[in-house]
Structure 1
Amino acid sequence: MLKFLSGVLLALGMVAGPCAQAASVLFLNPGTTKEAFWVSYSQFMQAAARDLGMDLRIQYSDRVPENIIKQAREALQGHNRPDYLVFVNEQSVAPEVLRLAQGSGVKLFLVNNALTVDQVKLLGARPDKYPDWIGSLVPNDEEGGYLMLKELIRLHPPVAPGQMIDLLAFSGLKVTPSAQLREKGMRRALAEHPQVRLRQLVYGGWTRQRAYEQAKLLFTRYPQTSLVWAANDEMAFGVMQAYVESGGVPGKDALFGAINNSPAALQALLDNRLSVLLGGHFTLGGWALVELHDYDQGVDISQYGGRDRQLPLLQPINRAQAKQLLALGSARNFGVDFHKLSAKGRPASYRYPFSLQILMH
């Protein structure tokens, strides 16, 4: 009888073997379903999950850090735990998520905002202390902030010796690493151009409405403003609205720069309302899934580019690329074969080729 049962179990095991369950991933999206950036971010992840045969769920936190913590607690301590939790260190929530994850068996992956220097010191964030934290992917935020201002200054008409160029800057949230880094890059560019005077930097909270309200006051206070640096597209659109209401023409009387390649931002670049646009980091979640898929298959992802990586995704988008990216919005899987990017079975010299160029055929 026992022999029979073990034979049946063996047969069942053989049947169940090849039908291994798809790896389950939960992404805690810090944004809202109305933000073009975070929606396109989710869509790119969904395309990757479909291609790679992964079970992806996405929860939005509507930019409320308490929601992220609550969602993380439910995912990490509830009954229906995912294999992988992908999250963003938005408003510095990462230490609490790492704490909640201890002993859960859920593997963690950070995207977009890694730990700040202070958090690393505080946590003593060594891989052996958090064995379930398997990696992170972040964009080149500091360089992005720097490149945007450099390009805006390059495009600005020359001024007479002794004359100043007035700049207004709109950053995101003070406690978000990406905002801090973009601002740091902007200040690095500013230091190289003494003819540019930063009139004021304000925190628009990444939102159109807040930036609009701030800009209405600032354009009255600084009517000579001819450069506007905005850390994302939503804020740039709010500032533009205020500028138009004050009688100015974006792209002519003042040059605007922004980050994020939402369809509206790409169109604004084509219409010359935006003079400088950087983008490409909406792909980070999709690239993270390629790495998680490989990890799940037993690949040592640290061999192919490092456990924690910064990708040079933020780059100025020209008008030809803007047209290509707009057309991609309607293409299934964004025209990317995610399987082809896998490191499985690759030589040790292989490096994940994650970049915006993969989308540009």
Structure 2
Amino acid sequence: MLLVNPSISGEPFWQKVESIAQAASKQLNVKLDVIYGDGSRYIQLEELQKYLEYRATPDFVVLMLYPGNAEQHLDLLEKYGIQYLTLEQTINGPEQVEIGKPGQRYKNWLGEIYFDNFRAGADLAQALTDSLREKRPKVKPQALAINGHYGSESDARNQGAQSFFGSQGVALQQSIYASWSKTQAMEKTQRLLKRYPNTNIIWSASDLMAMGALSAVKQRGEKDPAFVAIGGFDWLNDTLRLIEKGELQASVGGHFIMGGLAILSLYDKFHGHSYWQTNQSITYPLVVINQHNVHRYIWLAEKIDWTGVDFSGFSLLNNKQSNYLVSPTFLAKDNAPGVISD
């Protein structure tokens, strides 16, 4: 199999996706190659084309589609007759209409593995609002939102936040884009805090940007700064430690298990299971980590040997279930026997 990591080697979030995929492959005796897209849709397409031209054709490919050239990626894979899965739902609007759903225009597109970004965005907004109300019950919630880029993933998260804030009467003063960058998020938050000095909630579409916002709040220079509830997505190691210390309030995540889930489902298909003949997707909920439950997940902030996770236990070949009942809650300390940190 081939996993196309859309980022660079060692990038915190996608490294976890890759590491879990590697562990699942080792456990299931699957040979897995990995190539990198370097955070660029153009480079990813070039690297995929070079791999397919100069190496033996893999049985399956797992990749994330970048908005703007999804069609070129799918055309290339169809040309080589390779079956493939896509991670996350990153394509929307006219481009999504053009490529259709798995198995329609592109017959070798088996399906998608994704999660409900709208609900996750709302869950993060609720966690931050609840945290503010616990710490400062008499203040009026006033929020800022920091998005990644213009695309379905970030926009769906933001729409979920807007829906929750609107339902609770929370003032969402402004939404901005910071290109998933910690530095951009810090610099833009600094300017926004001058415009909206009473801000007490900063919702972010990623943990890196949340940490950038935290830096901006700390740099305001107040002797006794008012509490600001800040949170993001991804369960990054540093984020979990900051939640434990009370500097950040929440992180939504667990979606990095999608790498292992993709390998597992393709292993099942290779050995004859019909799931991808009758289904177009695998979905699962994300989980909020906050100060109330971080003690169950803080072990994830250490270097992890993912080979301790029993991926075979989720195989439909073994458990005879009709769906993949996988949730990130299985990574909670008391739910993950045998998972080793070192």
Pairs within 5 Å for 1:1-361 = 25-125=1-101, 127-157=103-133, 164-175=140-151, 177-194=152-169, 196-247=170-221, 253-302=227-276, 306-312=279-285, 314-319=286-291, 321-328=293-300, 329-333=302-306, 335-344=308-317, 346-347=319-320, 349-360=321-332, 361=335
Deviation at 1:339, TM superposition (A): 1.4
SS at match of 1:102: helix
Which stretch of the first structure deviates more once superposed, 76-85 or 257-266? 76-85
CA contact (8 A) 2:201 2:230 kept: yes
1:200 Cα offset (Å): 1.5
Q: Tell me if structure 1 keeps the 8 A contact 2:121–2:158.
A: yes
Question: Is contact 2:129–2:229 with CA below 8 Å preserved after alignment?
Answer: no
Could you give the per-residue CA deviations for residues 141-193 of structure 1, whole angstroms, max 9, x where no partner exists? 11110111122122223666xx7432111111113x21111011011112202
TM-score (norm 1): 0.84
Instruction: Name the residue aligned to 2:338.
Output: none
Query: C-alpha distance in 1, partners of 2:68/2:307?
Result: 31
Equivalents in 1 of 2:223, 2:14: separation in Å?
29
Q: 1:39 to 1:131 in 2, by over 3 A?
A: same
Structure of greater Rg: 1
Q: Mean Cα displacement is larger for which, 284-293 or 328-337? A: 328-337
Alpha-carbon distance change, 152 to 334 in structure 1, aligned in 2, over 3 angstroms = farther
Three-state SS of the structure 2 residue aligned to 1:192 is helix
State the AA in 1 paired with 2:14: W
TM-score (ref. length: structure 2)? 0.88
Is the contact between residue 226 and residue 253 of structure 1 (CA under 8 Å) also seen in structure 2?
Answer: yes
Deviation (angstroms), 1:248: 5.5
Of 84-93 and 49-58, deviating more is: 84-93
Task: Measure how far apart 1:47 and its partner are.
Answer: 1.1
Is the CA contact (8 Å cut-off) linking 2:189 and 2:213 kept in structure 1? yes
CA–CA distance in 1 between the matches of 2:250 and 2:223? 15
Distance in 2 (CA, whole Å) between partners of 1:256 and 1:65 is 30
Counterpart of 2:160, as a letter, is: G
Q: Return closer, same or farther for 1:34/1:339 CA change in 2, 3 Å cut-off.
A: closer
- 1:145–1:181 contact (8 Å) kept in structure 2: yes
- Aligned partners of 1:225, 1:152: CA distance in 2, in Å? 12
Contact 1:208–1:237 (8 Å) recurs in 2: yes
- Displacement, 1:333? 2.1
CA distance in 2, matches of 1:303, 1:80: 25
DSSP 3-state at the match of 1:95: helix
- Paired residues of 1:169 and 1:198 also in contact (CA < 8 A): yes
Can you list the C-alpha shifts for 1:280-329, whole angstroms capped at 9, x where unaligned? 1011111111001111112112378x3213211x1212447533433244
Q: Does the 8 Å CA contact 2:37/2:43 hold for their aligned counterparts?
A: yes
CA contact (8 A) 1:251 1:273 kept: no
Using a 3 Å threshold, how does the CA distance of structure 1 residues 339 and 31 change in structure 2: closer, same or farther?
A: same
Deviation, 1:277, is 1.6
Q: How many residues align?
A: 330
Rounded Cα–Cα distance in structure 2 between residues aligned with 1:251 and 1:288: 45
For the residue of structure 1 that corresponds to 2:123, the secondary structure is: helix
Percent identity of paired positions between Structure 1 and Structure 2? 24
Q: Flag structure 2 segments of 5+ consecutive residues without an equivalent.
A: 336-342
Deviations, residues 7-50 of structure 1 (Å, cap 9, x unaligned): xxxxxxxxxxxxxxxxxx22221223353111112111111111
The answer on whether the counterparts of 1:76 and 1:106 sit within 8 Å (CA) in structure 2 is no
Residues 298/325 of structure 1: CA separation in 2 closer, same or farther (3 Å cut): same
